[in-house]
Amino acid sequence: MFKVVPLRNSFKIAVVVLTALLSSCMVSKDRKILYFAHSLPTSHPVHKGILDMQRLLNENSGGKLQIKIFPDGQLGTEREVLELLQIGSVALTKVSAGSMSNFAPDYRVTSIPYLFRDSEHLFTVLEGEVGKQLLEGGSEYLLRGLCFYDAGSRSFYSKKKAINTPDDLKGMKIRVMNDQMAVDMVNTLGGSATPMAYGELYTALQQNVVDGAENNIPSFVTSNHYEVCKNYTFDQHTMVPDVVVVGTKFWNLLSDTEKKWLQSAADASVKSQRKYWKETVKKNMEVLKKANVQFIYPDKSEFSIKSRPVMERMMKDPKMKILIEKIKAN
């Protein structure tokens, strides 16, 4: 059994047009072109990793299998592009594992606050049995994971009131991605979680629709949210990775050799993407210092303890309990 998330009416019209435009461009003589859509700007380290994947695939296949990239949300939000993968209009995307959890529930485990001890622990898990299970398990929902990209740790940032302790979140509207785990986490910590599309957030912050948000440093900078929010709290509540996903409708059209080319390119791009991430964080911190952003380094144990009910609720699900215990054992 697989699950296809129903398309919303307004999106159905766009899908009809997009399918007509994209599907006719898939095969050109002896080449196959895979469309890769994502929501990040071209300056982002994740996009740079995707460029490496594009280059490596071209080299692996001798130009027979190529990627065309649509960045900056040109083809829709993360959720919308995942829907396009499910119906076969787009081949590839990069989304947060949090967004994937709306389609493939096992990915919820990656969004549990303070489950991963540090980045080394995270990478060990993602490169092991649990990571493989998550990537391959998405095929049940027509969304096969190819690899995980580093997306750092997510922390809170705010416009007016600085967040030093969980108590400071009381009464604050905090934007979160469309992910139930993120909603539960913020609400459990005492804030008011406000799901919102990433592209709408800058204006929402300007107009005081929300008081703050949570994300990693590169996204905080490339989105220019630091122009509005001058407080960044390194509580590092989650380490939600990004996932490179291929729609199974395209995957199943590839030969075994073509699948190896694509998987090899994805795997090889992981190492360089992590390098780009580290370099970008270092540069971004300098940008934020010059912009007079206030860095707050709180007692993370206070956030960890208060958010613990989120993990406890997840442990009531037998399947989630097994995944959580496997991750803790690494």
Would you say how long the chain is, in residues?
Answer: 330
Flag whether pLDDT at 27 surpasses 90: no
Q: What is the pTM of this model?
A: 0.88
Flag whether pLDDT at 55 surpasses 80: yes
**Exposed (0-12), middle (13-18) or buried (19+): which is 67, by Cβ within 10 Å?**
buried
Average pLDDT value over all residues in the chain: 92
Report how far residue 273's alpha carbon sits from residue 148's, in angstroms, rounded to the nearest whole number.
Answer: 10
pLDDT band for position 198 (cuts 50, 70, 90): confident
Residue percentage of the chain with pLDDT more than 70: 91
DSSP letters for 64-113: SEEEEEE-TTTT--HHHHHHHHHHTS--EEEEEHHHHTTTSGGGGGGGST
pLDDT at 151: 96
Query: For the segment 220-263, what is each residue's pLDDT rounded down to a tens digit?
Result: 999 999 999 999 999 999 999 999 999 999 999 999 999 999 99
CATH superfamily ID and name for 9-150+241-282: Bacterial extracellular solute-binding protein, family 7 (3.40.190.170)
pLDDT at 29: 64
Flag whether pLDDT at 10 surpasses 50: no
pLDDT band for position 135 (cuts 50, 70, 90): very high
Report how far residue 212's alpha carbon sits from residue 160's, in angstroms, rounded to the nearest whole number.
Answer: 8
Flag whether pLDDT at 114 surpasses 90: yes
Span 88-117, mean pLDDT? 96
pLDDT at 170: 97
pLDDT at 178: 85
Query: For the segment 171-186, what is each residue's pLDDT rounded down to a tens digit?
Result: 999 999 888 999 999 9
Span 313-327, mean pLDDT? 97
pLDDT at 254: 95
pLDDT band for position 210 (cuts 50, 70, 90): very high
The DSSP symbol for 152 reads: -
Q: Where, residue-wise, is CATH 3.40.190.170 in the chain?
A: 9-150+241-282, 154-239+293-329
Flag whether pLDDT at 300 surpasses 50: yes
Query: For the segment 57-67, what is each residue's pLDDT rounded down to a tens digit?
Result: 999 999 999 99
**Exposed (0-12), middle (13-18) or buried (19+): which is 308, by Cβ within 10 Å?**
middle
Give me the CATH topology for the region 154-239+293-329.
D-Maltodextrin-Binding Protein; domain 2 (3.40.190)
Flag whether pLDDT at 25 surpasses 80: no
Report how far residue 37's alpha carbon sits from residue 5's, in angstroms, rounded to the nearest whole number.
Answer: 18
Torsion of Cα atoms, 229 then 234 then 240 then 244, to 10°: 60
**Residue from 241, 220, 201, 242 nearest 93 by CA:** 242
